[in-house]
Amino acid sequence: MTLPSALRKVDAQPFEFTFDYTHTALIVIDMQRDFIEAGGFGESLGNDVSTLAAIVPVVAGLLAFARQEHMLVVHTREAHLPDLSDCPLSKISRGNPSLRIGDAGPMGRVLVRGQPGSEIVSALQPAPGEIVIDKPGKGAFHGTDLHALLQQRGISHLLFAGVTTEVCVQTTMREANDRGYDCLLVEDATASYFPAFKQATLEMVRAQGGIVGWTAPLSAIIDPANHIGTAPMLINHPPVIAELNAEFDAYEAALIRHDVAALDRFFRYDDATVRYGVAENLYGGEAIRQYRMRCAPVHPQRKIVLRVTSSYGNDFGAISAEFNAPDTDQIGRQTQTWVRFPDGWRIVAAHVSLID
C-alpha cells in the first residue's frame, strides 16, 4: 500500500488548483435513485431524469481515483427522518409536484431516509470506511456534522461531484467556501436537469478569480503529470493526536470491562500483526484473537498513569503508556502502533511488559 503523501497540481479554471490529497476529501452529492431514476423526487417535480444518469460512469472514475489515493470520501443523500420532523413545511408544500416529500411513490416514500429512493445508485455504492451523510437541506453543511467530521480529519480542500449542479452541489460548495475550504467542482461529474443552469453554475463558481472555487474535468484531475512532489508530513497534528487518544481510551475501557469482541476489533486481523504480552508472543490476528478468548480480565483498578502519543501524517501513530497493576505492585508499560485503514484505526503491533 502506498502512503498518501503527494501534492497534485490540476490544470483548472480560473487558475491552477493545488491540493495535497491527505488533506482533501471527495464529496459526492446526492447520487441517489430519487434524482437519477424515474419514479423519484426529481421526476415528481416535472424533470426529465435521463440527463443525470449520464454522469454515473464519470463519478465512478472519480471515486476510483479518490480510493486509489486514499482520500477521504463523503457521500450525501437528501433524505428526511420518517416523521419529517427535519423537513420545513415550506419545503413540503412548495409548488405542485405529483408526489410530495413523504408521499408513497414507486421507490418508497419520497426523500425519506432508508427508502429505496434514497439509496445511492448501485454503480456508486459507498465503500467500507467512507462517510455517508443524510442531509435535510440542499446544502450538506446545514443540519449535519459534516464540518466537524472534515475538521477532525484535517481536511482543507474539497472535490465536488453529484447532482444537481445548481441546487445541492452549488449550495454545498458555497457553504464550504464560506467555511474556509478550497473547492473544486469536477465539470463532467456533475449534472443538472437544465444544461444551461449547469453551464451558468460552472461559470459563476470560477468567475471573479474563483469567487466560489475552481472547476476542472476529471481528465485534468487524474492526469499522472499532476504529481508535483511530496507534501511535508504533519507530525503530531492535534486532530490526529485527539483521534488516537480517543481510540486508546476506548481500548482501555474495553479492557476494564473485558469486552472481548471490542478488544478484538482494535487489532488488525492480519498475519503481520504482532502482540507481545507480558507472558506470551502472539503472531498474527488469529493468535491474538485466540488469546483474547482465553485471557483473564485485567485488574479492575488498573490505571493509566502516563501516556505519550505521537503521529506521523494522517494515518500513523504510536502510543506508549505506563499503567499500575495493583495486584503486582509493578509498573506496567505498553506500546501500541496504530494505522488508519479505510474502516478505522487499528493496532498493528503492541508490546506489554512489567518492571519492578
Site string for ligand TIU, 175-194 (x = CB under 6 A): ------------------x-
Residues 36 and 164 sit within 8 Å (Cβ to Cβ): no
Q: Which of 20, 43, 78, 247 binds ligand TIU (CB under 6 A)?
A: 78
Beta strands per DSSP E along the chain: 6-10, 17-20, 24-29, 72-78, 104-105, 108-109, 131-135, 157-163, 182-191, 214-216, 227-230, 274-276, 281-283, 303-311, 316-325, 330-341, 344-355
Residue 163 as a binder of ligand TIU (CB under 6 A): the answer is yes
Whose CB is nearest to ligand TIU?
168
Closest CA to 111 of 140, 82, 89: 82
Please tell me which residue in 168, 183, 198, 315 is annotated as part of the active site.
Answer: 168
Residue 213 is which amino acid? Answer: G
Supply the minimum distance, in Å, between the C-beta of residue 138 and ligand TIU.
Answer: 6
Residue 35 as a binder of ligand TIU (CB under 6 A): the answer is yes
Judge whether 343 counts as a catalytic residue. Answer: no
Residues numbered 91 to 150 that lie near ligand TIU (CB under 6 A) are 138
Q: Which three cell numbers stand for residue 228?
A: 508535483
Supply the minimum distance, in Å, between the C-beta of residue 197 and ligand TIU.
Answer: 9
Please tell me which residue in 20, 87, 135, 315 is annotated as part of the active site.
Answer: 135
Q: Which three cell numbers stand for residue 355?
A: 518492571
Rounded CA separation 307/111 (Å): 47
To which H or E segment does residue 42 belong?
A: helix 41-44
Q: Which of 8, 17, 30, 84 binds ligand TIU (CB under 6 A)?
A: 30
Q: Which of 110, 124, 150, 167 binds ligand TIU (CB under 6 A)?
A: 167
Q: Which of 6, 7, 45, 231 binds ligand TIU (CB under 6 A)?
A: 45
Interface with ligand TIU (CB under 6 A), residue total 11
Please tell me which residue in 20, 30, 34, 134 is annotated as part of the active site.
Answer: 30
Q: Which three cell numbers stand for residue 169?
A: 452541489
Judge whether 30 counts as a catalytic residue. Answer: yes
Only segment of 163-171, 259-267, 292-300, 305-313 that touches ligand TIU (CB under 6 A)? 163-171
Supply the minimum distance, in Å, between the C-beta of residue 255 and ligand TIU.
Answer: 45
Supply the minimum distance, in Å, between the C-beta of residue 192 and ligand TIU.
Answer: 7
Which residues, 6 or more positions from 330, have their beta carbon under 8 angstroms from its beta carbon? 354, 355, 356
Judge whether 182 counts as a catalytic residue. Answer: no
Residues 49 and 40 sit within 8 Å (Cβ to Cβ): yes
Residue 43 as a binder of ligand TIU (CB under 6 A): the answer is no
Residue 20 as a binder of ligand TIU (CB under 6 A): the answer is no
Supply the minimum distance, in Å, between the C-beta of residue 32 and ligand TIU.
Answer: 8
Which residues, 6 or more positions from 286, have their beta carbon under 8 angstroms from its beta carbon? 269
Closest CA to 44 of 54, 34, 53, 32: 34
Rounded CA separation 341/51 (Å): 36
Query: Which residues are annotated as catalytic?
Result: 30, 135, 168
Binding site for ligand TIU (CB under 6 A): 30, 35, 42, 45, 78, 138, 163-164, 167-168, 193
